[in-house]
Amino acid sequence: MGNEPFEHLYSREARTQQPSAIREICHLAGQPDIRSLAGGWPDPEILPNKETAEIFSELAKDDPACLLQYGTTEGLKDLKEQICSFYKDSEGLSLKCEELLIIHGAQQGMDLLSRILIEPGDIVFAGLPTYFGGTGALQSRGAEIIGVPVDENGLNVEQMEISLKELKAAKPEANIKGIYVIPNFQNPTGATLSLKRRKHLLALADEYDFLIFEDDPYGELRFEDQAIASLRKLDTKERVIHIRSLSKTFSPGVRVAWMTAEKSLIRKMVVSKQFVDSCTNSLGQHIASEFIKKGYLKKQIAKNIEFYSKKRDRVLELLDRHFPATVKYNRPSGGFFIFVHLPENISANDLLQKAKGQKVVFVSGSPFFIDHSGENTFRISYSQVSYEDMEAAVKVLGEILHKL
């Protein structure tokens, strides 16, 4: 018996859940004197405050009741039509409204698909490392996660194929349900899955009869190079459940995201969502719909690209200047993150403890590894930190690393 009086009444899911490493570190980062390289959220400076206020004022004047009432579980029809049109323009992807579900952030998408697909003991593959919010939703339903190494070309699909063959040979009865993948500017590594590997992954999904859980919050934040077609766009067998959010391109506060998939999968998730929260918030959906309809989203994405690419360039300049040559890090083509590899004998957690003493924080890499490796890695986010704090924080880390 632990220290909690009702521990004996907790569900298996509640007993096994662990607090998010990012949530814990960002609680500390919220203090005014902390220089944080931890949070992967948008910079308040780039949020479209004026446009959002304009939209809210117009909606509140024209039809305030629509903002304050329940909506359908599937989501606002007008918003779904705007999203379908956006996909058609940006990717040449034709979607139907019945293939689309509006959700409260991408994390709810992972929760819903886990609810309808995962039973205890089911196998799901995921990047090593990858975002632990995605794997956490799967593990909460009892999934067994098998890690696949991530390199500069994203998830190592060739290694995954070897693992699949070995698994089927050793356990023919293994129930392989899917793979969780962040294809563009992955959290935490910043890596992008190559076109060759995307096509290979789709072929494996068909051969081994599993689904692909495509989490793509950063895809529009590409600073250079040619965009690669999404797995959903490349999919000809309807094996991809694609999740996208407005949190990084518009506003995390509106809590609007969506899922696209084969319509029977969407229907199952709609039924599940009815018992989770009934419907996504109406106010956020109406604002998001008007934001897209007025052309603001396309303009905002362009602003974001210019804004965050400059921040990326600056933090890379600082890392080159202050970090020892033995410390390695990626140079992402988009997104929010840089992943740092320290020499094997240096612990990122030890570095974090020393950095905290000088009011600097980041996220250690080990929580992103489902096998608890990666102790010599950590993630830097340049998205929300000011230039002044960025310079001071990287300098502090460099000084500590040179001593170590």
* CA dihedral sign of residues 222, 309, 186, 156: positive
Do 317 and 287 fall within a single domain?
no
Least confident of 28-37, 150-159, 218-227, 243-252: 28-37
Same structural domain for residues 370 and 288? no
Whether the pLDDT of residue 1 is over 50: the answer is no
Is residue 292 predicted with pLDDT exceeding 70?
A: yes
**Average pLDDT of 59-66?**
87
Q: Is 150 within 8 Å of 171 (Cβ atoms)?
A: no
Read off the pLDDT of each residue in 367-395 and give the average, rounded to a whole number: 96
Residues 123 and 258 in one domain: yes
pLDDT score for 26? 63
pLDDT of residue 15: 76
For residue 126, give its domain range.
63-297
SS3 string of 7-48?
Answer: HHHCCHHHHHCCCCHHHHHHHHHCCCCCEECCCCCCCHHHCC
**Residues 277 and 336 occupy one common structural domain:** no
Residues forming a β-bridge with 212: 179, 240
Q: Is residue 55 part of a domain?
A: no
Q: How far apart are CA 188 and CA 171, in angstroms?
A: 31
pLDDT in tens, 226-241: 999 999 999 999 999 9
Tally of structural domains, the chain: 2
CB 150 within 8 Å of CB 183: no
Q: In this predicted structure, which of 7-21, 82-96, 177-191, 369-383 has the lowest mean pLDDT?
A: 7-21
Please answer whether residues 404 and 346 qualify as being in contact, where contact means their C-beta atoms are separated by less than 8 angstroms: yes
User: What is the distance between the alpha carbons of residues 200 and 158, in angstroms, rounded to a whole number?
Assistant: 8
Q: Kindly tell me if the per-residue pLDDT of 351 is higher than 80.
A: yes
To the nearest whole number, what is the mean pLDDT of the chain? 94
53 part of a folded domain: no
Strand, coil or helix: 374: coil
Provide mean pLDDT across the span 91-98.
90
The answer, yes or no, to whether residue 306 has pLDDT greater than 80, is yes
**What CATH number did the domain enclosing 189 receive?**
3.40.640.10
Residue with tokens 């030890």: 350
Q: Please, how many CA atoms are within 13 Å of residue 45, restricted to the half-sphere of its CB?
A: 11
Global pTM value:
0.94
Beta strands (DSSP E) in 69-119 are 100-103
CA distance 49 to 43: 12
According to DSSP, the residues that pair with 144 across neighbouring strands are 123
pLDDT (mean) for 301-314: 98
Strand locations in 225-352 (E):
240-245, 257-260, 328-329, 337-341
pLDDT: which is higher, 220 or 25: 220
- The arithmetic mean of pLDDT across residues 27-53, rounded, is 88
Cα separation, 282 vs 68, whole angstroms? 7
- C-alpha 76/C-alpha 352 separation (Å) is 44
Half-sphere exposure (CA, 13 Å, Cβ side) for 259?
31
**Tens-digit pLDDT profile for residues 188-228:** 999 999 999 999 999 999 999 999 999 999 999 999 989 99
Contact 330, 191 (CB under 8 A): yes
Same domain? 78 vs 120: yes
* Same domain (yes/no): 97, 236: yes
Q: What is the DSSP letter of 237?
A: S
Crossing angle between the packed helical segments 282-293 and 49-62, to the nearest 10 degrees: 110
Q: What is the pLDDT of residues 162-187, one digit of tens each?
A: 999 999 999 999 999 999 999 999 99
Q: Classify residue 56: in a domain, yes or no.
A: no
pLDDT at residue number 33: 85
Q: Which candidate, 130, 263, 145, places its Cα nearest to that of 190?
A: 130
Looking at residues 304-322, what average pLDDT do you find? 98
Place 404 in a pLDDT band, splitting at 50, 70 and 90: confident
Note the pLDDT of residue 65: 85
What is the arithmetic mean of pLDDT over 138-161?
A: 96
Residue 20 has pLDDT above 70, yes or no: no
In a shared domain, residues 251 and 306? no
Among 250, 185, 195, 181, CA closest to 222: 185
Tell which of 247, 282, 297 closes a domain.
Answer: 297
Of the residues 297, 323, 358, which one is the last residue of a structural domain? Answer: 297
End-to-end CA distance of the chain: 41
Say which CATH number the domain at 304 has.
Answer: 3.90.1150.10
- Same structural domain, 138 and 285: yes
Residue pLDDT, tens place only, 246-284 = 999 999 999 999 999 999 999 999 999 999 999 999 999
End of a domain among 264, 282, 297?
297
Residue among 259, 251, 258, 260 at smallest CA distance from 287: 251
**Is 2 contained in some domain?**
no
